[in-house]
Structure 1
């Protein structure tokens, strides 16, 4: 191999190795987003029901200016707002303002609603922990 080809090969190697670094960080980071024995308004969470457990995970997309119906959850639930803004208002007028990245430990057996007062669709993932006999949500009549 002549010096010209060796130089081209060496240059290619240097260029390739500088622009294609392999990420070697393998550190796992855990961040506790929420932990409580109370819902966001301070009410103590109820005991879990007896019977066969059932876990439900829902993702809701709430368009700007949309308002959910007044409802209550019959099981313990918690969520994480992934995108947008969401305001939760309970039947007593207490308000919780959420922005993307905020966790929520939701109300149980208390009527409330959510409203997107923002300019983009709000997306929230909610985890419900109950039993197979109990509905997760009940609309106020």
Structure 2
């Protein structure tokens, strides 16, 4: 049986990948404290907010901006030149207007998203995103209710 050079290269690449270590202890890498809160001191279903961020994201275009921009761009382009030059200007105006209209629509539909990262007692980490301010700060002890982190009454 003759092996192709590609098969030999693939075999060498797989041989170079280090094997998983059976002696690794994932519990040793789990945090014991987050933002000054000892995880052992909180309830089993609780977590600690380790990070909060707010960011603005471009909205999604629905096509209305692109169509509107294309119509306006085509009308403006049609006012330029005559004959074939007029046709080219109309097409370029429509394409440019469509691209510009789509970009304007996305900017007009931007949304603010709050990301809250929570480290739970068992060491798992989850990030929750929502479009309203969660009212949480780093170090707050939380539980998850209806898919959102909620400050736990102490």
Shorter-normalised TM-score: what interval? under 0.3
Tell me which of the two structures has the higher relative contact order, counting C-alpha pairs closer than 8 angstroms and 6 or more residues apart.
1
More strand by share: 1
Could you tell me the TM-score, scaled by structure 2's length?
0.23
Could you tell me the TM-score, scaled by structure 1's length?
0.25
Higher-Rg member (1/2): 2
